[in-house]
Chain A
Amino acid sequence: MSPPFQIDLEQDGQSGRTEDATHPLGTPRFSTSPVGAPGNGLLLVALVTGALTHGYHLFLYPLYITDEGIYMQRAWAVIRAGALAPYTYNYDHAPAGWLVIAAWVSLLPRQFQTFGDAINAGRVLMLLVHLASVYLLFQVARRLSGSTLAAFAATFFFNVSPLAIFYQRQVVLDNLMVFWVLLSVCLATSDDGRVLTPILSGAAFGIAVLTKENAIFFIPALSYLLFGQVRPRLNRRFARGLAMFAAVAIVSEYFLYAVLKNELLPAHLNFNLSTPPTGHVALLYTIWQQLHRNQGSIVDTHSLVWRFSLGAWLPKDTFLLVVGTASTLINLVWGLQDRRRRQGELIAALLASGYLLYLMRGSVVLEFYVVPLIPFLAINMGLLGRSLLQTLSSRVVVQIAAVAVLFAALLIPIGHSGGYVLVRDEFGRVVPHDLYKLDLTGLQAQQLAFIRHQIPPDARIIMDEEFWVDLHDSRPSYRLAHSHFEATGDPDVRDKLFARDWTNVDYIVMSSQMLDTMQQSNTAHQYDWIFEALNHAQRIWVLQLGGIELEVWRVQHRMSRKRSSVRHDSSGP
Chain B
Amino acid sequence: MLMGLLIAVAIMVSVLLTLQSAYTLFLMLYTWDQLHVQAMARAPAHFLPPQKSFTVMLPARHEEEVIQTTIERVMRAHYPLHLLEVVVICSADDIGTIARANEKMELLRRDGITNLQVAIFSDGPINKPHGLNVGLRSTHHEVVTIVDAEDDIHPGIFNVVNTVMLNEQVSVVQCGVQLMNYQSSWYSALNVLEYFFWFKSRLHYHARLGSIPLGGNTIFFARESLVRLGGWDERNLTEDADIGIRISVLGERVRVVYDDRYVTREETPPTLGHFIRQRTRWSQGFLQTLIKGDWKRLPKLEQRLLAAFTLGFPCAQAVFGLYIAVSLFMMFAVRVPDVVTLILELPFYLLAAHLIVAMIGLYEFADAHELKPSWKTPVVMTLGYLPYQGVLAYAALRAAYRQIHGINNWEKTQHVGAHRQSGVVDTKTQPAATA
Give the B-binding residues of A (Cβ under 8 A).
2-3, 5-8, 11, 13-15, 21-22, 24-25, 82, 193-196, 233-235, 237-238, 241-242, 245, 249, 253, 256-257, 260-261
Contact = CB atoms under 8 A, between A and B. Distances in A.
B45 A8 contact: yes
B27 interface: no
Contact of B345 (A13, A25, A256): A256
Contacts of B435: 2-3
Given A2-B166, A237-B364, A238-B29, A7 B48 contact: no
B391 interface: no
Contacts of A24: 35-36, 38-39
B39 to A, nearest CB: 5
Interface string B250-267: 000000000111000000
B35 A256 contact: no
Q: Chain B interface residue count: which class?
A: 35 or more
B167 interface: yes
B216 interface: no
A357 to B, nearest CB: 31
In the complex, which of the residues B32, B38, B48, B370 has the most CB atoms of chain A within 10 Å of its own CB atom? B32
A242 B25 CA distance: 11
Interface stretch (B66-74, B88-96, B126-134, B353-361): B353-361
Contacts of B45: 5-8
Contact of A7 (B39, B339, B342, B363): B39
A242 B359 CA distance: 11
A233 B342 CA distance: 35
Nearest to B35: A24
A315 to B, nearest CB: 45
A472 B29 CA distance: 50
Contact of B367 (A13, A238, A256): A13
A118 to B, nearest CB: 24
A6 B42 CA distance: 10
A245 B166 contact: no
Q: Is the interface of B mostly helix, strand, loop or mixed?
A: helix
A392 B33 CA distance: 43
B167 A2 contact: yes
B32 A256 contact: no
Given A13-B368, A242-B353, A237 B341 contact: no
A238 B356 CA distance: 9
B50 to A, nearest CB: 13
Interface string B329-344: 0000000001101100
Given A237-B363, A256-B342, A260-B341, A245 B353 contact: yes
Contacts of A257: 338, 342
A195 B353 CA distance: 13
Given A5-B167, A24-B36, 11 more contacts: A2-B48, A2-B435, A7-B39, A7-B45, A11-B43, A13-B364, A24-B39, A195-B33, A260-B338, A260-B341, A260-B342
B259 to A, nearest CB: 6
A32 to B, nearest CB: 16
Interface in B129-164: none
A368 B135 CA distance: 78
B342 A253 contact: yes
B356 A194 contact: no
A401 to B, nearest CB: 43
B384 interface: no
Nearest to B359: A241
A261 B32 contact: no
B46 interface: yes
A196 B339 CA distance: 27
B432 interface: yes
A242 B338 CA distance: 26
15 contacts: A2-B167, A13-B364, A25-B35, A195-B29, A195-B33, A196-B33, A234-B32, A234-B38, A235-B33, A235-B35, A238-B357, A241-B360, A242-B357, A249-B352, A260-B342
A168 to B, nearest CB: 32
Interface string B305-338: 0000000000000000000000000000000001
B34 interface: yes
Contacts of A7: 39, 42, 45
A316 to B, nearest CB: 41
Contacts of B345: 256
B169 to A, nearest CB: 13
B44 interface: yes
Given A2-B167, A13-B367, A8 B33 contact: no
Interface string B91-129: 000000000000000000000000000000000000000
A21 B38 CA distance: 10
Which A-B residue pairs are the 5 nearest by beta carbons? A235-B32, A6-B45, A8-B45, A24-B35, A195-B33
A484 to B, nearest CB: 29
Contacts of A193: 35
Contacts of A13: 260, 364, 367-368
A233 B166 CA distance: 31
B260 A195 contact: no
B41 to A, nearest CB: 10
A233 B44 CA distance: 21
Nearest to B341: A260
Contact of A15 (B34, B338, B367): B367
A260 B32 CA distance: 37
Contacts of B23: none
B175 to A, nearest CB: 14
A238 B360 contact: yes
A11 B35 contact: no
B401 interface: no
A82 B43 CA distance: 57
Contacts of B35: 24-25, 193-194, 233-235
Given A24-B35, A195-B29, A3 B353 contact: no
A13 B349 CA distance: 29
Contact of B32 (A2, A3, A22, A195): A195
Nearest to A82: B339
Given A13-B260, A195-B29, A195-B32, A5 B44 contact: yes
Given A13-B364, A238-B29, A249 B349 contact: yes
Contact of B261 (A5, A11, A249): A11
B360 A237 contact: yes
In the complex, which of the residues B167, B342, B349, B435 has the most CB atoms of chain A within 10 Å of its own CB atom? B349
